[in-house]
């Protein structure tokens, strides 16, 4: 196990999570692939088999005991953890704020904010106790950590919350050589953003087709963050489609 680097990626079965898992494997990490759907995780593992190692551990990010089991299994298998990528996330239906149910709100908060907090707690415990001490935690923030889309209050609120968690984790991690940063992605071409090809509602009320970028750009940026020496940290890194309506007034 000497010199082996271990990473956990949540939401590793598709989209950004799969691309980043493969990127980390290519960069020499052994990646613990986690998410709800075992078959999707196994597809990621199969795609990366030729150039890296992985371990499939299905988990439910809304279940604290499932999260605890994920980290226990990682510690048992490898004895350490070098990188945690808190990537898994969901949105609520795009309906008026006043029509959202409490259950819809709580589902997004549980997955997008509470789960990364719990994962961070477990990562801290492992990273504090291992030798050499320390590690890196990277949170998936999103452009929504800065500016909302219409009809997206739960998602936007949790992503703003992730920015606070990133800052607090970065501060609290200093004493243990634990670095924390955030990657904020805008319009990566994945299954989740496929709807953009048919047009996305804009704040002024019209609909427009928004430019997207290859998800490999996200994987490359994530690997850059993950492979910095622990005396350096990319606290916030924004990678976005150049022509998407974000900068300025749309």
Query: What is the residue extent of each domain of the chain?
Result: 5-240
* Whether residue 132 has a cis bond before it, omega within 30° of 0: yes
Q: What is the mean pLDDT of residues 136-160?
A: 95
Query: What is the DSSP secondary-structure string of 181-210?
Result: EEEEEE-EESGGGGGGGG-EE-TTS-EEPP
The Cβ-side half-sphere exposure at 151, using a 13 Å CA radius, reads 12
Q: What pLDDT does 195 receive?
A: 72
Helix and strand element counts for the chain (H, E): 7, 11
Tokens of 118: 């719990």
The more confidently predicted of residues 145 and 195 is 145
- What pLDDT was estimated at residue 135? 98
Whether the model clears a pTM of 0.95, i.e. scores above it, the answer is: no
Distance CA 208, CA 199 (A): 5
State the pLDDT at residue 200: 77
How would residue 193 be classed by pLDDT, with cut points 50, 70 and 90? low
Greater confidence, 4 or 63? Answer: 63
- Which residues are known to be catalytic? 155
- Mean pLDDT for 193-207 is 73
CATH class given for the domain over 5-240: alpha beta
Rounded CA gap, 77 and 64, in Å?
A: 20
208 or 242, greater pLDDT = 242
Distance CA 182, CA 145 (A): 10
**Which band of pLDDT confidence, cut at 50, 70 and 90, is reported for residue 1?**
very low
What confidence tens digit (pLDDT) does each residue in 5-37 have?
999 999 999 999 999 999 999 999 999 999 999
């Amino acid at each position: 196990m000497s010199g082996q680097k271990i990473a956990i990626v949540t939401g590793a079965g598709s989209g950004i999570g799969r691309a980043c898992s493969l990127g980390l494997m290519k960069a020499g990490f052994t990646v613990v692939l986690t998410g709800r759907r075992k078959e999707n995780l196994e597809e990621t593992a199969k795609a990366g088999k030729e150039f890296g190692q992985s371990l499939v551990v299905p988990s439910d990010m809304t279940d604290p005991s499932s999260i605890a089991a994920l980290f226990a299994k990682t510690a048992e298998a490898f004895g350490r953890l070098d990188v945690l990528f808190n990537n898994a996330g969901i949105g609520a239906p795009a309906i008026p704020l006043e029509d959202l149910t409490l259950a819809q709100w709580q589902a997004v908060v549980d997955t997008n904010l509470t789960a990364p907090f719990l994962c961070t707690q477990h990562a801290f415990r492992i990273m504090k106790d291992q030798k050499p001490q320390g590690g890196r935690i990277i949170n998936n923030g999103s452009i929504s950590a800065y500016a909302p889309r219409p009809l997206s209050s739960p998602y936007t609120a949790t992503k703003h919350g992730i920015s606070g968690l990133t800052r607090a984790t970065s501060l609290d991690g200093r004493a243990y050589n634990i670095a924390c940063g955030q990657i904020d992605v805008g319009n990566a071409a994945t299954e989740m953003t496929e709807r953009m090809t048919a047009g996305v509602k804009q704040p002024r009320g019209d609909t427009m087709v928004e430019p997207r970028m290859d998800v490999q750009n996200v994987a490359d940026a994530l690997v850059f963050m993950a492979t910095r020496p622990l005396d350096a940290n990319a606290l916030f890194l924004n990678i976005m489609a150049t022509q998407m309506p974000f900068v300025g007034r749309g």
